[in-house]
């Protein structure tokens, strides 16, 4: 696992081969952050939520780019321990790993975030519900952006919060924006 940009640029972390996680490819991750750079200045101390963190690759990239607070939610004990180990090795307090079921976490979370990323297993039966749950639980700040990584079988263009869809090989990202904004500008 490699950090693409920021203060930890070019740092590598060896992910155990026993992991079940399917990390976002470096190519897709680099393109994702190029697009996000048009919407955010991560150095502004943004808050971020990384759901289904897996190896923590996205959380690590967010911390490296200057996010002020990242909450990384991962259910698997080995993956959670790996994220904790990496953040401890970097001696950063900007990332809070949380070992929890994502759906239960969303129900109980009272915090709002500037940016939310979710990379569930592509075969997850409830994958299609995730955007609605993020918004119904009020997890995203007004003007915030939510990105869902998913397989090619999903299309969220009819969602009223849909912004855009990008795909890089077999990786698909759908971008959503919290109500109250259109094209980054508050609506009347």
Cβ neighbors of 87 (< 8 A, separation 6 or more) are 56, 60, 63, 95, 97
Confidence of residue 184 (pLDDT cuts 50, 70, 90): very low
Q: Which residue has the higher pLDDT, 153 or 180?
A: 153
pLDDT at 187 exceeding the cut of 60: no
For residue 58, give the nearest of 149, 143, 135 by alpha carbon. 149
State pLDDT tens for residues 4-49.
999 999 888 888 888 877 677 889 999 999 999 999 988 888 999 9
pLDDT tens-digit map of 70-108 = 999 999 999 999 999 999 999 999 999 999 999 999 999
Classify strands 140-150 and 162-168 as parallel, antiparallel or unpaired: unpaired
Predicted confidence band of residue 179 (pLDDT cuts 50, 70, 90):
low
Q: Is the pLDDT of residue 51 over 70?
A: yes
Closest CA to 76 of 110, 108, 121: 121
**Residue 186: per-residue pLDDT:** 39
What span, in angstroms and rounded, lies between the C-alpha atoms of 37 and 32?
9
Q: What is the pTM of this model?
A: 0.92
- Give residue-wise pLDDT tens across range 114-157: 999 999 999 999 999 999 999 999 999 999 999 999 999 999 99
Mean pLDDT score, 54-72:
95
Residue percentage of the chain with pLDDT more than 90: 77
pLDDT at 180: 58
Edge-to-edge strands, sheet with 47-51: 95-99, 69-74, 47-51, 113-118, 140-150, 171-177, 162-168
pLDDT of residue 112: 97
CB 42 within 8 A of CB 67: yes
Tokens matching residue 119: 């990379």
**Rounded to an integer, what distance in angstroms lies between the CA atom of residue 87 and that of residue 103?**
24
Domains of the chain: 26-186 (3.40.50.150)
Q: What is the pLDDT of residue 176?
A: 97
Contact 13, 87 (CB under 8 A): no
Per-residue confidence band for 1, with pLDDT thresholds at 50, 70 and 90: confident
């Amino acid at each position: 696992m490699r950090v693409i940009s920021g203060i930890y640029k070019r740092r590598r972390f060896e992910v155990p081969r026993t992991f079940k996680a399917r990390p976002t490819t470096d190519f897709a991750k680099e393109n994702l952050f190029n697009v996000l750079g048009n919407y955010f200045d991560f150095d502004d101390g943004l808050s971020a939520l990384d759901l289904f963190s897996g190896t923590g690759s996205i959380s690590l990239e967010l911390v490296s780019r200057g996010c002020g607070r990242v909450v990384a939610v991962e259910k698997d004990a080995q993956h959670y321990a790996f994220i904790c180990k990496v953040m401890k090795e970097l001696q950063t307090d900007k990332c809070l790993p949380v070992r929890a079921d994502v759906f239960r976490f969303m129900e109980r979370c009272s915090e709002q975030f500037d940016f939310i990323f979710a990379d569930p297993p592509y075969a997850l039966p409830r994958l299609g519900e995730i955007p609605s749950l993020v918004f119904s639980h009020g997890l995203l700040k007004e003007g915030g952006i939510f990105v869902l990584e998913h397989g090619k079988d999903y299309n969220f263009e009819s969602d009223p919060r849909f912004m855009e869809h990008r795909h890089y090989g077999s990786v698909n990202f759908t971008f959503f924006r919290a109500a109250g904004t259109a094209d980054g500008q508050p609506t009347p």
